[in-house]
Structure 1
Amino acid sequence: MGTGTGRKFLFVLGSARRDGNTEQLARLAAEQLGDVEQRWLWLGDVPLADYRDVRYPVSERPEPTGNEELLLDATLEATDIVIASPTYWYSVSSSTKRYLDHWSNWERVPGFVEAMAGKHLWAVTALAEEPHQAGALLDALERAAVYLKMTWRGGLVGVGNRPGDVLSDTTALTTAKTFFTA
């Protein structure tokens, strides 16, 4: 991947702390993208309000504003969306879940569903246990991709409990070198 590919990666960082194992693993994998455009948004910097289902009636649906509008625009501008969330209790973090929940309301934004079709959805996660424990997280994201007719590109899973531990996971580090280019 290089200049002229037209690809734009959005990294949605859902960790409760900056530069945690998940983010470190995502950044190592992203090094392989070269000069492909990348945008990194830590959800701690752009928090969303708790999700309220306001899909119906459509006439009462407020337009996204503030952080919600920023995240919606970033999502729509990307060709590739990377959900970088630690595995917490076998699922994504609460801030990541809130971001994904807002996709339900965004389905009523004109053009959102059509724009999501064909985008690529990726996952990067780290957890303190065995990699297979991330299965529910990966399954949920794959189902979201299928629902919106996105292309599911899979998950990069690393093991690390304390900050920096993932850098000792040689399997994850090897996979990171080709994750976005395979």
Structure 2
Amino acid sequence: MTRSFLFLLASSRSDGNTELLARRAAEQLPADVEQRWIDLARHPLPDFEDLRHDSDHVRPTDGATGLLFDATLAATDIVIASPLYWYSVSGQAKRYLDYWSGWLRTPGIDFKATMAGRTLWGVTALAHEEFEVADPLVGTLNNSAAYMGMRFGGVLLGNGSKPGDVLRDTEALARAKTFFAQEAPLARFPYEEA
């Protein structure tokens, strides 16, 4: 399968530091690699309703739900570009991941098997210089990938608070040049033995 990247912008600010860093990393992808960018603020998902035991599920076709479902299925690589908000992913990113629960029960689509082996990546900008504060965000993405049997490419972290700050983080910009070139291992839960 030819690589196809889905970049999900999950910030409440357009052209924010996280998006700038994600775009710098994406510039390094070969020209024949498809890139699709979806701004979750412009395509908001409705509140997620957990209907696992209450109703029949149907393939989503309308609005943001159908758009994101189809884009997710078409991608080999999914990039969650979320700023660090209260030490985890943004509300938009969390809502998108919540929808995976419903998609697991979509008839005719074995969502978990379909996603297995694909790669989940993260890009985030944070106002802290101690990147350890992003551990909950990294854990959310790693554990989501592990549950789905996906590969986890890690999270590209950059420092920035005011608009454009991340472009002064020379270490983050250097990491962006090779971030998507690495071979991503299968994700594992932290308590699993290698």
Q: How far is 1:60 from its partner?
A: 2.7
Instruction: Tell me how far apart the structure 2 counterparts of residues 161 and 47 of structure 1 sit (CA, whole Å).
Output: 24
The residue aligned with 1:51 is 48
Of 9, 13, 20, the residue aligned with 2:9 is 13
Amino acid corresponding to residue 117 of structure 1 in structure 2: A
> Are 1:28 and 2:27 matched, yes or no?
no
> Are 1:102 and 2:94 matched, yes or no?
no
> Are 1:84 and 2:92 matched, yes or no?
no
TM-score normalised to structure 2 length? 0.88
1:23-42 per-position Cα deviation (integer Å, ceiling 9, x unaligned):
00000000000211000000
The residue aligned with 1:123 is 122
The residue aligned with 2:154 is 154
Give 4+ residue runs of structure 1 displaced > 2 Å after superposition: 59-63
Amino acid corresponding to residue 83 of structure 1 in structure 2: I
1:15-58 per-position Cα deviation (integer Å, ceiling 9, x unaligned):
1011100000000000000211000000011100011101223x
The residue aligned with 2:66 is 69
Amino acid corresponding to residue 88 of structure 1 in structure 2: Y
Identical amino acids, percent of aligned pairs: 56
Amino acid corresponding to residue 14 of structure 1 in structure 2: A
TM-score normalised to structure 1 length? 0.94
Q: How far is 1:62 from its partner?
A: 4.5
The residue aligned with 1:172 is 172
**Structure 1 unmatched ranges of 5 or more:** none
Structure 1, 125-134 or 172-181: larger mean CA deviation: 125-134
Q: Alignment partner of 1:32: what SS?
A: coil
Instruction: Tell me how far apart the structure 2 counterparts of residues 89 and 133 of structure 1 sit (CA, whole Å).
Output: 9
Q: Alignment partner of 1:121: what SS?
A: strand
RMSD over equivalenced CA pairs, Å: 1.1
1:143-165 per-position Cα deviation (integer Å, ceiling 9, x unaligned):
00000000011110001000000
Of 54, 60, 84, the residue aligned with 2:56 is 60
Instruction: Tell me how far apart the structure 1 counterparts of residues 5 and 58 of structure 2 sit (CA, whole Å).
Output: 28
Q: How far is 1:61 from its partner?
A: 2.6
Instruction: Tell me how far apart the structure 1 counterparts of residues 173 and 65 of structure 2 sit (CA, whole Å).
Output: 33
